[in-house]
Amino acid sequence: MNSNKLRESFLKFFEKNGHKIVASSSLIPDDPSVLLTTAGMQQFKRYFLGEPSPYGNKVVSCQQSFRTSDIDRIGDKTHLIFFEMLGNFSFGDYFKEGAIKLAFSFLFEELKLNKQECYFTVFKGDKDTPFDKESFSILKKLGVPESKIKKMCRKENFWGPTGLEGPCGPTVEIYYKELEIWNLVFNEYFRDKHGKLSPLEQKGVDTGLGLERLAKVIQNKPSIFETDLFEPIMREISGKNERAKRIISDHIKACTFLISEGILPSNKDRGYILRRLIRRIIGLEKILGLSNNFLIGLVPKVVEIYQDIYPEIKSKEAEIMTVIQNEGERFEKALVKGLKQFEKISLKGNISGIDAFHLYDTYGFPLELTIELAEQKDLKVDKQGFESAFKKHQQISRAGIEKKFGGIGKQAGDESIKLHTATHLLHQALRQILGEGVKQMGSDITAERLRFDFSHSKKMTETEIKKVETLVNQKIKQDLKIKKEEVSYEKAIKSGALAFFKNKYPNKVNVYSIGGFSKEICGGPHIKRTSELGVFRIIKEESSGAGIRRIRAVLE
């Protein structure tokens, strides 16, 4: 069965069993304590806590998910950074017995998997939470021999919460031929910010079944990389280093989906994750001896696999390629310098941890690249030394950040709020002067200036720049009021609010309007009235890649 059919059969099976199909939410979650969506339950977190669900009490989804926690394991047969998670959820409807029976019915009746090849794990209990006797008995009642039910500790069989606080509980995990395929989470507790557990009034079920792993099982492949979710990408990559090929295939998918969400490479948060992934693939490209532009050629392969399911990546294909190409070109320069540095270092013999870390930190060399280059010279790299240099560096920079921002954080924050509002004005002004083709491609705000990337095919003329600046200043002088409304995503779009990550917003969104001039879906915060902004000045207009312009501006 191909993966599109598999995805559909899961959704349809649960629909037939009274669940409402809900589309994947954005990879950018509405929970500010989490950088990226890591699980299907994330968009439903509040319904586990008792808020009524607009979809009813039983839902099913196929969620785009992203887990950097597994980054070191990518390259084996079954781990990924970006993956799709199939899941069924109950908010106060069925609980352990219902969930386990549905899972059995889908796997063993619908997909006809051989139950004899499966084993199961349950939570064995500890000082804080009791043994999950109920799940153990249900499994036995369903004919599973005790020898195939393993009792495991908290680390293995207790899930959640995502972020700082939320629902969590014991799990039952289903393994097929030693591979964990399905995690059934029974949310019966709430964990607060301090780690304290209290029973939830309404019990819930959250399950996660990795589509790629299920495809491996159903398509009977040695690894997920031979399934139809990867084969078209893997086929394009030549070379003998299987691990490098797998990492490239995983990361290029991850990058494609991140960029389709409007994320651009940068030095912080999500942008930083994207930057590291692109740079890691480029380093691996060198290992495999592939050409420079090879990478962007893989984007159409990712699009080919997913275009029927996620049409937004098809519509953004060109943008995605441009972003990757630009980042690649920027990195190339550092790479050339780094290679020279490597030559120097390698004259001393084996590569020390500090030197490997220096190559990583200053030139962006992934550790694999250093190892590979060293191997070609019959040299070794001190991996442990690299890890400890890495950890030490992290501690130092954390302490540095705290010291640097401890005293001025508030002030810097206020200033940047003004620049955030100015960014909305600039965006709308650009659309009025240059046309509605202008779309936000990225935004970065510091205490001193704003930086705004947008789609536009030509350099702006002096007159256009002046016109935009004047229009923004006019709106500042008009002392427009900034209004925030919380509405459904559909309503926001109908009302004409600008949104950039099509189809991927949470159900409820904030819309900020500035007088009748600008209206955008945005997380905020903003100032109250435009007259607080002072004078707006564009200080630079430049290219930021093919079809993308960049403006830097300040408030004076």
Positions in the binding site for ligand SER (CB under 6 A)? 39-41, 87, 159, 183, 185, 206-208
Q: Which is nearer to ligand SER, 159 or 386 (CB)?
A: 159
Shortest distance, position 445 Cβ to ligand SER, whole Å: 33
Count the neighbouring beta carbons within 10 Å of the beta carbon of residue 164: 13
Shortest distance, position 193 Cβ to ligand SER, whole Å: 19
Q: Which is nearer to ligand SER, 164 or 336 (CB)?
A: 164
Distance CA 38, CA 42 (A): 7
Shortest distance, position 87 Cβ to ligand SER, whole Å: 5
Shortest distance, position 342 Cβ to ligand SER, whole Å: 40
**How far is the CA of 327 from the CAs of 265, 274, 321, in angstroms?**
7, 10, 10
Bridge partners, 122 (sequence order): 151
Q: Which is nearer to ligand SER, 94 or 536 (CB)?
A: 94
Shortest distance, position 532 Cβ to ligand SER, whole Å: 43
Q: Provide φ and ψ at 500, rounded to 5°.
A: -115, -15
SS (H, E, C) 476-540: HHCCCEEEEEEEEHHHHHHCCCECCCCCCCCCEEEEEEECCCEEEECCCCCCCEHHHHCCEEEEE
Shortest distance, position 81 Cβ to ligand SER, whole Å: 14
Q: Which is nearer to ligand SER, 204 or 364 (CB)?
A: 204
**How far is the CA of 512 from the CAs of 145, 261, 496, in angstroms?**
58, 20, 12
* CB contact at 8 A, 125 and 132: yes
Q: What is the side-by-side strand order in the sheet with 518-521?
A: 482-488, 508-514, 518-521
Count the neighbouring beta carbons within 10 Å of the beta carbon of residue 375: 12
Shortest distance, position 65 Cβ to ligand SER, whole Å: 8
Taking 3-state DSSP, the helix, strand and coil percentages for the chain, each rounded to the nearest 5, stand at 45, 20, 30
Shortest distance, position 54 Cβ to ligand SER, whole Å: 20
Shortest distance, position 48 Cβ to ligand SER, whole Å: 11
Count the neighbouring beta carbons within 10 Å of the beta carbon of residue 545: 20
Q: Which is nearer to ligand SER, 40 or 92 (CB)?
A: 40
Q: Which is nearer to ligand SER, 206 or 469 (CB)?
A: 206
Which residue is nearest to ligand SER, using beta carbons?
Answer: 208
Q: How far is CA 2 from the centre of its chain?
A: 25
Q: Which is nearer to ligand SER, 185 or 298 (CB)?
A: 185
CB-side exposure of 260: number of CA atoms within 13 Å? 26
Q: Which is nearer to ligand SER, 106 or 452 (CB)?
A: 106
In the DSSP assignment, the letter for residue 146 is G
Residue of 260, 255, 309 lying closest to 280 (CA atoms): 255
Q: Which is nearer to ligand SER, 121 or 518 (CB)?
A: 121
Biggest CA-to-CA distance, the chain: 79
Shortest distance, position 140 Cβ to ligand SER, whole Å: 23
Q: Which is nearer to ligand SER, 14 or 517 (CB)?
A: 14
Q: Which residues contact 419 (CB under 8 A, 6 or more apart)?
A: 445, 446, 449, 450, 555
Count the neighbouring beta carbons within 10 Å of the beta carbon of residue 437: 12
End-to-end CA distance of the chain: 62
* CB contact at 8 A, 138 and 100: yes
Shortest distance, position 210 Cβ to ligand SER, whole Å: 9
What per-residue string of b and e applies to 348-373 under the rule 16 or more CB within 10 Å gives b? eeebbbebbbbbbeebbbbbbbbbbb
Q: Which is nearer to ligand SER, 157 or 510 (CB)?
A: 157
